[in-house]
């Protein structure tokens, strides 16, 4: 049985890195950028008027001039046609380019608009008042966002602002999802007394969607050697195969043996964690990776979130995944020597972690309102209120 750290480093050793591809900006939400974003020009690209008003020369104001003739009206997007001299101003709109000769804008609210001229008022006049100067936000060539990073709405906006209508992202892997078990029935079939519905298939597909991945091959297979062999032989042609159930010690837990018979090399079987101990990980001779996750719903969620996601993060260029240390808000003890993952919610008032009780890893409500998983290390029999614990968020925070 592997320790958690060993299991994670064995998984890292399987990473070859996904290819890069270009996608349209409209399709980039939630994808992982594979190329840095740099500024294609200065921002603002010109001395941008920040207010509707009148642009003057500060030197005129200092001379005591308060009434100005309007030389020209400059709208956003227009180039100015005139060069003002003393006693003249531009009428200018927010977002328009302020000609270099003008170095102050007085708001329209502080102007008395007369027939051919305008009388301006200001208590305190500062150079470049109401002008956002060229390059003051960022300079051409500046690194704005370092890859890899998940495309948020703000990043999408920045990509658009900097002219990237095609975006370089990490290509998505092909993924198969196979659930197993005689007792597991698909929706919307009726369940008999000793059957259960196939929730993990939906769980896994939903977890993959966070990465914008849809499984190309998805099937439920009974605990029967021939059908499992047939389905798994197809599934393992994918970059990543995720199998659920049939990996512990039961008479019908055929998955590890069948994978081996199909030439999948076992990297490890069993990790010293709870839930999720029976996890099996292997690799085909072509380098495709196979995760066989334990069947209990919380074990499935945990092993996906910790192991499959670590593999995805690394394959998409992240050195490590975001991991937080946050205070736990209750005492917690454990009697076994395994590292324990448990569902927690983020307390909005304190920023600490509330422990969410559940009734074992088969409880369908376990982790229902959790924001992520917290960790009680193998050698730590008790956690005290206020102790910092590792926190793996379910969503990128």
Residues that bind ligand MOO (CB under 6 A): 274-277, 294, 296, 299, 361
Q: What is the distance between the alpha carbons of residues 210 and 179, in angstroms, rounded to a whole number?
A: 20
Residue 58 vs 199, nearer CB to ligand LQZAQKY5 = 199
Which residue in the set 39, 49, 105, 184 belongs to the binding site for ligand LQZAQKY5 (CB under 6 A)? 184
251, two tokens:
């008479």
The candidate with the shortest Cα–Cα distance to 90, out of 127, 49, 122, is: 49
Residue 299 vs 315, nearer CB to ligand LQZAQKY5 = 299
Q: What is the distance between the alpha carbons of residues 57 and 86, in angstroms, rounded to a whole number?
A: 8
Using CB under 6 A as the binding rule, whether residue 45 contacts ligand LQZAQKY5 is answered as no
Which residue in the set 53, 256, 282, 295 belongs to the binding site for ligand LQZAQKY5 (CB under 6 A)? 295
Residue whose structure tokens are 């074990």: 299
Residue 137 vs 378, nearer CB to ligand MOO = 378
Using CB under 6 A as the binding rule, whether residue 376 contacts ligand LQZAQKY5 is answered as no
Using CB under 6 A as the binding rule, whether residue 343 contacts ligand LQZAQKY5 is answered as no
Which residue in the set 137, 183, 347, 363 belongs to the binding site for ligand LQZAQKY5 (CB under 6 A)? 183
Residue 276 vs 367, nearer CB to ligand MOO = 276
Backbone torsions φ then ψ of 187, nearest 5 degrees? -85, 145
The candidate with the shortest Cα–Cα distance to 388, out of 353, 361, 364, is: 353
Q: What is the distance between the alpha carbons of residues 292 and 233, in angstroms, rounded to a whole number?
A: 14
Using CB under 6 A as the binding rule, whether residue 367 contacts ligand LQZAQKY5 is answered as no
Using CB under 6 A as the binding rule, whether residue 2 contacts ligand LQZAQKY5 is answered as no
Sign of CA dihedral 308, 309, 314, 320: negative
CB atoms within 10 A of CB 126: 10
Q: What is the distance between the alpha carbons of residues 83 and 93, in angstroms, rounded to a whole number?
A: 17
**What is the contact surface with ligand LQZAQKY5 in residues (CB under 6 A)?**
179, 181, 183-184, 196, 198-201, 244-250, 253, 275, 277-278, 294-297, 299, 361-362
């Amino acid at each position: 049985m592997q320790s958690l750290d060993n299991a994670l480093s064995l998984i890292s050793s399987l990473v070859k890195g996904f290819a890069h591809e270009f996608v349209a900006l409209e399709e980039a939400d939630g994808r992982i950028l594979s190329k840095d974003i740099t500024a294609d020009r200065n921002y603002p690209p010109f001395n941008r008027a920040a207010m509707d008003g009148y642009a003057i020369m500060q030197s005129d104001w200092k001379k005591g001039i308060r009434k100005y003739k309007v030389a020209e009206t400059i709208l956003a997007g227009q180039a100015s046609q005139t060069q003002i001299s003393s006693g003249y101003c531009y009428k200018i709109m927010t977002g328009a380019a302020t000609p270099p000769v003008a170095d102050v804008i007085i708001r329209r609210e502080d102007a008395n608009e007369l027939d051919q001229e305008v009388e301006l008022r200001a208590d305190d006049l500062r150079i470049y008042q109401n002008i956002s100067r060229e390059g003051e936000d960022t300079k051409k060539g500046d690194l704005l966002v370092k890859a890899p990073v998940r495309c948020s709405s703000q990043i999408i906006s920045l990509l658009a602002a900097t002219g990237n209508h095609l975006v370089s992202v990490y290509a998505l892997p092909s993924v198969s999802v196979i659930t197993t078990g005689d007792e597991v029935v698909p929706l919307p079939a009726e369940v008999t007394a000793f059957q259960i519905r196939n929730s993990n298939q939906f769980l896994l597909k939903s977890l993959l969607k966070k990465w914008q991945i849809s499984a190309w091959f998805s099937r439920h297979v009974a605990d029967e050697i021939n059908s499992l062999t047939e389905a798994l032989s197809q599934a393992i042609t994918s970059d990543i195969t995720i199998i659920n159930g049939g990996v512990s010690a039961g008479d019908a837990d055929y998955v590890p043996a069948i994978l081996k018979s199909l030439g999948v090399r076992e990297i490890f079987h069993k990790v010293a964690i709870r839930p999720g101990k029976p996890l099996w990980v292997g690799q085909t001779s072509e380098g495709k990776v196979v995760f066989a996750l334990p069947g209990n719903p919380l074990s499935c969620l945990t092993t996906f979130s910790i192991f499959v996601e670590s593999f995805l993060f690394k394959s998409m260029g992240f050195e490590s995944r975001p991991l937080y240390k946050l205070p736990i808000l209750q005492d917690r003890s454990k009697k076994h020597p395994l590292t324990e993952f448990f569902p927690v919610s983020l307390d909005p008032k304190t920023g600490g972690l509330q422990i969410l009780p559940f009734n074992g890893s088969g409880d369908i409500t376990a982790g229902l309102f959790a924001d992520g998983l917290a960790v009680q290390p193998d050698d730590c029999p008790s956690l005290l209120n206020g102790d910092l614990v590792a926190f793996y968020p379910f969503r990128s925070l």
